[in-house]
Chain A
Amino acid sequence: MASGKAVIRARPWAVACFLLPALLLLGALVVYPIAYSVWRSLFDASGDGFVGLDNFTQLFTDDSIRHALRNNLIWIVVAPTVATGLGLIFAVLTERIRWATAFKLIIFMPMAISMLAAGIIFRLVYEQDPDRGLANAVLTTVHDAFSGDSSWPDAEPRPDGPITAQEDGSFLLETPVSAGQPVLLPLVAVPQPELEGAAVAAAPSGDPAAVTGTVWMDFTRGGGTPDTIDPEEKALAGITVEAVRDGEVVADATTGDDGTFTLPAEADGAQLRLAADSFTAPYNGAEWLGPNLVTPAIIGSYVWMWAGFAMVLIAAGLAGVPRETLEAARVDGANEWQVFRRITVPLLAPLLAVVMVTLMINVLKIFDLVYVIPPSSSQGDANVLALQLYLESFGTGGDQGVGSAIAVLLLLLVLPVMFFNLRRLRRENQR
């Protein structure tokens, strides 16, 4: 230390010469942009009019910026925690298995993908249509494994026809039926592909001792006549027809291949109801990119990328944990969970803090994923500060004054985290 000071005192210009390149670079690439952003944030959109702190006032009054701020808070709390937690779990578990390196490689692999590419991948993963989006494909497969699918999910009565859709999804023919009087129950809106295997509908037999009728798709090429069974029109088989009197089911029957059904004479004077289970719309999965789920969905994709990073760092730290301590605990009769909870985690705590803080800084400036994944209709709901900064500065009708103000705010938010990191680093060096 003392010798260093002596050098400075003896040959200050030499020191300056050595420092100059670094100082110039730092000044031009770091200090100047920061200073200019602060300066720019005090001016209006054109950059000519001084507005004082107006841009900052706008930060806290503008709805979309407030929303972005709120989302940033969610991000900073959830994303680093989950990524570090998963990283810890992976690191501890892979320590024991045989193919640890291969496993780690796979978990780490997403890190090799750019944020933009990851964004595009996850946009596809979260696609609403289960035929295209992986997330919904999984959800619907699981869902359908537990509840069977219905036979005619799209069939519906005509909006102004005699049959009305009930709240529970069943269809009710209000007019009571009578024995010997054939009942026509027309439904529409069944897509052609679903009708492919269906037989042609037959007219009800009209048996005087029973209630007979037909359920069919009342539409064929060219339209056909409404409420009439035209020659080409297809039958809707397998639908349960219930006769309901005073809210009680008195009889039921299932439509045959030709769409006809026969109810016993008890059904006379009852109302007919088509049971809902044939018409339940298929489960379509979650609306991942809708307003409510979009932020958690994007955080999920972030975790997919960064859990590997956390895992690798933690695994390195884990290698440095003294084996003897672990062995001693095990000899003393601690089970694995206790060893993990009482020994491994406390020993790793400083490292976990570093990983968390690094991820926090990373998350504060998250931009790419939020820019790429949401469709524009929910971009507002997914908004974060960095994205708002970009849109505000370079989007249509941009205002770089407000953009700079957001940049300054982001800087202020990062500062305490940086400060924490630097202090920790210094403490470590002193040790």
Chain B
Amino acid sequence: MRGSGRVSRRRVFRATAVTVAVTALTLSACSAEEDEAGSERPATIELPDLSGESLEVSAVWTGAERDNFLRVLDEFEARTGASVSFVPSGDNVSQFVGTKIEGGSPPDIVMVPQPGVLQEFAEQGWIAPVGDLVQEQLDANYTQGWQDIAARDGVQYGVYVKAANKSLVWYSDTAFEYAGVSVPEDWDAFVDTSWTLWESGTTPLSVAGGDGWTLTDWFENIYLSQSGPEMYDRLIAHDIPWTDPSVTDALTALAQVFGEERLLVGGASGALQTDFPTSVTQTFTDLETPAAGMVFEADFVGAVITDSTDAVIGEDARVFPFPAVGGGDAPVVSAGDAAVAVAPDGEASEAQQALLAFLASTDAAWIWAEPGGYVSPNRSLDLDAYPNETQRGIAEALIAAGDDFRFDLSDQTPADFGGTTGQGMWQGLQNFLRDPSDVQGAQEYLESQAADAYGG
């Protein structure tokens, strides 16, 4: 039994690593074998018997992301006897949950992508605090920082089950090799590397300026590294205005690359029409002579590379951490999804608590991590769980940052400012990309938008 378990585990690895976009058929086969293999590791969590209970889980995930999550739910079903169904929530989670509650049939567990939304839910009384079983898992597996962003006024409401490391630069190995450059250590080296790539005939940077959120991530990484976590937190709270000199410094640094048409694929105007998936594919589609040398974004770039290009992560497509700017530490900006129990009457059921606890456990994280494309904030998770070196490195950087990581800035500001097309940070930074010489104008725009959003 044990021996065969090992063999089947290897098969699972191969099956999932080779094709991430697995069909549902192979997936169910995988998870069936997974159950046998799972018995190899001692269970780290005791779950109650929930036969006859049914739960509904909602998240924004689709495609491979959703399939990977379903494996975790299957394991939960196998261990407890409960039946769990998955309902996609669409992009606007807050609206989705709101209408569902009004309609009287809310999902039991919801994954919320922004801390602000979690706060809003807690304030509305839509979600219930976690119980002892969950807290036990949290204390064992999560740093205080990861717990705190899912709490309100000292009450723990959720569990961060999935993290994203947003401080990564993906690069084409061919382009770097041809240009004879290596991974840059800091921002100045990064700018130099870009110029060398340009000299070699490869446009260095692919920027998805069409999607405002990628530009906010550029800014956040530079700001966090250059001005430090305290200033970062103050900027989130709008304690300091956007006209602050620290913002000037960050935008000036950003202008070192954004201000050079030659460094961006298609120049600034081309970048402004590039959406995020295109920014990735144009970097990794042509493996001989790539259209761009580097593309900056979170670990989920890996999913786009596997889905839409022939590039092999770790060979053709490699990754390095976002460089430190201005003598600061290298930034770790993260994002993630928190699981919360929806309970408009204030009390979460045993089944809801059990699922939350399971999602917070190392067992769940392990199953989730195996196929790739997932990073867990769970510090107890053995890095061996990740399928390849690249994924392991991304996770390691995130865990190593301890509580020095910072959650995505734009996700923590009011949605009007940090998450809406055509206004706030998105529009402000797009304006800046269109005219990077006008740092002051960009700051004034951002400040006026922030004043509106925070003032209201």
Q: A residues bordering B, Cβ < 8 Å? A: 64, 128-129, 154, 156, 158-159, 188-195, 217-219, 221-223, 287, 289-290, 375-380, 383, 391, 394-398
8 CB-based A-B contacts, threshold 8 Å: A188-B198, A188-B199, A189-B198, A191-B202, A222-B180, A376-B426, A380-B421, A396-B415
Q: Is the CB of A192 within 8 A of B92?
A: no
Check: B80 CB closer than 8 A to any chain A CB.
Answer: no
Q: A377's contact among B95, B180, B273, B453, by CB below 8 Å, is which?
A: B273
Q: Is the CB of A289 within 8 A of B273?
A: yes
Q: Is the CB of B179 within 8 A of A223?
A: yes
Task: Tell me how far the C-beta of B449 lies from the nearest C-beta in chain A, rounded to whole angstroms.
Answer: 11
Check: B289 CB closer than 8 A to any chain A CB.
Answer: yes
Question: Given the interface contacts A191-B202, A376-B211, A377-B210, does A397 sit within 8 Å of B420 by beta carbon?
Answer: yes
Q: Is the CB of A396 within 8 A of B180?
A: no
Question: Given the interface contacts A191-B289, A192-B178, does A219 sit within 8 Å of B419 by beta carbon?
Answer: no
Counting chain A CB atoms within 10 Å of each CB, the highest count among B198, B201, B430 belongs to B201
Q: Is the CB of B199 within 8 A of A189?
A: yes
Q: Is the CB of B198 within 8 A of A128?
A: no
Q: Is the CB of B272 within 8 A of A377?
A: yes
Q: Is the CB of A128 within 8 A of B430?
A: no
Contacts of A129 in B (CB 8 A): 266, 270
Q: B273's contact among A128, A190, A222, by CB below 8 Å, is which?
A: A128
CB under 8 Å from chain A, chain B span 102-157: none
Q: Is the CB of A383 within 8 A of B422?
A: yes
Contacts of A217 in B (CB 8 A): 201
Question: Given the interface contacts A289-B273, A377-B210, does A219 sit within 8 Å of B420 by beta carbon?
Answer: no
Q: Is the CB of B419 within 8 A of A396?
A: yes
Question: Given the interface contacts A375-B210, A377-B430, A391-B422, does A190 sit within 8 Å of B201 by beta carbon?
Answer: yes
Question: Given the interface contacts A191-B289, A290-B269, does A379 sit within 8 Å of B201 by beta carbon?
Answer: no
Q: Is the CB of B414 within 8 A of A397?
A: yes
Task: Tell me how far the C-beta of A139 lies from the nearest C-beta in chain B, rounded to whole angstroms.
Answer: 15
Given contacts A218-B199, A222-B177, A391-B421, 16 further A-B contacts (CB under 8 A): A188-B201, A191-B201, A192-B289, A194-B201, A221-B180, A222-B179, A223-B180, A223-B200, A375-B275, A376-B210, A376-B422, A378-B272, A380-B421, A380-B427, A391-B420, A396-B416
Contacts of A188 in B (CB 8 A): 198-201
**CB closest residue in chain A, given B430:** A377
Q: Is the CB of B201 within 8 A of A64?
A: no
List the 3 shortest-distance A-B pairs measured between CB atoms, nearest first: A223-B180, A222-B180, A396-B415
Dominant secondary structure at the A interface? loop
A384 and B262 alpha carbons, distance in the complex (Å): 34
Contacts of A218 in B (CB 8 A): 199
**CB closest residue in chain B, given A156:** B262
**CB closest residue in chain B, given A45:** B456
**CB closest residue in chain A, given B114:** A396
A189 and B210 alpha carbons, distance in the complex (Å): 26
Check: B209 CB closer than 8 A to any chain A CB.
Answer: yes
Q: A221's contact among B178, B212, B421, by CB below 8 Å, is which?
A: B178
Contacts of A394 in B (CB 8 A): 92, 95
A287 and B273 alpha carbons, distance in the complex (Å): 10
**CB closest residue in chain A, given B117:** A396
Contacts of A391 in B (CB 8 A): 420-422
Task: Tell me how far the C-beta of A190 lies from the nearest C-beta in chain B, rounded to whole angstroms.
Answer: 5
Q: B residues bordering A, Cβ < 8 Å? A: 92, 95, 177-181, 195-196, 198-202, 209-212, 262, 266, 269-270, 272-275, 288-289, 414-416, 419-423, 426-427, 430, 434, 453
**CB closest residue in chain B, given A187:** B199
Task: Tell me how far the C-beta of A355 lies from the nearest C-beta in chain B, rounded to whole angstroms.
Answer: 33
A395 and B177 alpha carbons, distance in the complex (Å): 45
Q: Is the CB of A376 within 8 A of B421?
A: yes
A395 and B95 alpha carbons, distance in the complex (Å): 9
Q: B92's contact among A189, A221, A396, by CB below 8 Å, is which?
A: A396
Q: Is the CB of A380 within 8 A of B196?
A: no
Question: Given the interface contacts A375-B272, A377-B430, does A195 sit within 8 Å of B201 by beta carbon?
Answer: yes
Counting chain B CB atoms within 10 Å of each CB, the highest count among A195, A217, A223, A377 belongs to A377
Task: Tell me how far the C-beta of A45 lies from the nearest C-beta in chain B, rounded to whole angstroms.
Answer: 9
Task: Tell me how far the C-beta of A116 lies from the nearest C-beta in chain B, rounded to whole angstroms.
Answer: 17
Task: Tell me how far the C-beta of A96 lies from the nearest C-beta in chain B, rounded to whole angstroms.
Answer: 43
Contacts of A287 in B (CB 8 A): 269
**CB closest residue in chain A, given B423:** A64
Contacts of B181 in A (CB 8 A): 223
Counting chain B CB atoms within 10 Å of each CB, the highest count among A219, A287, A376 belongs to A376
Counting chain B CB atoms within 10 Å of each CB, the highest count among A192, A217, A394 belongs to A192
Task: Tell me how far the C-beta of A361 lies from the nearest C-beta in chain B, rounded to whole angstroms.
Answer: 26
**CB closest residue in chain A, given B289:** A192
A159 and B260 alpha carbons, distance in the complex (Å): 11
Contacts of B421 in A (CB 8 A): 376, 379-380, 391, 395
**CB closest residue in chain B, given A154:** B201
**CB closest residue in chain A, given B91:** A396
Contacts of B95 in A (CB 8 A): 394, 398
A378 and B434 alpha carbons, distance in the complex (Å): 11
Task: Tell me how far the C-beta of B446 lies from the nearest C-beta in chain A, rounded to whole angstroms.
Answer: 15
Task: Tell me how far the C-beta of B118 lies from the nearest C-beta in chain A, rounded to whole angstroms.
Answer: 15
**CB closest residue in chain B, given A155:** B201
A221 and B289 alpha carbons, distance in the complex (Å): 12
Q: Is the CB of B420 within 8 A of A223?
A: no
**CB closest residue in chain A, given B418:** A396
Counting chain B CB atoms within 10 Å of each CB, the highest count among A191, A383, A396 belongs to A396
Task: Tell me how far the C-beta of A15 lies from the nearest C-beta in chain B, rounded to whole angstroms.
Answer: 39
Q: A375's contact among B195, B273, B414, B420, by CB below 8 Å, is which?
A: B273
Contacts of B199 in A (CB 8 A): 158, 188-189, 218-219
**CB closest residue in chain B, given A188:** B199
Q: Is the CB of B416 within 8 A of A219?
A: no
Counting chain A CB atoms within 10 Å of each CB, the highest count among B210, B211, B288 belongs to B210
Contacts of A289 in B (CB 8 A): 273
Q: Is the CB of B423 within 8 A of A189?
A: no
Q: Is the CB of B420 within 8 A of A64?
A: no
Q: Is the CB of A219 within 8 A of B201?
A: yes
A380 and B179 alpha carbons, distance in the complex (Å): 39
Q: Is the CB of A377 within 8 A of B416?
A: no
Counting chain B CB atoms within 10 Å of each CB, the highest count among A158, A219, A221, A391 belongs to A219
**CB closest residue in chain A, given B421:** A376
Q: Is the CB of A396 within 8 A of B178?
A: no
Q: A189's contact among B212, B262, B453, by CB below 8 Å, is which?
A: B262
A420 and B231 alpha carbons, distance in the complex (Å): 60
Q: B415's contact among A189, A377, A397, by CB below 8 Å, is which?
A: A397
A129 and B416 alpha carbons, distance in the complex (Å): 32
Contacts of A375 in B (CB 8 A): 210, 272-275
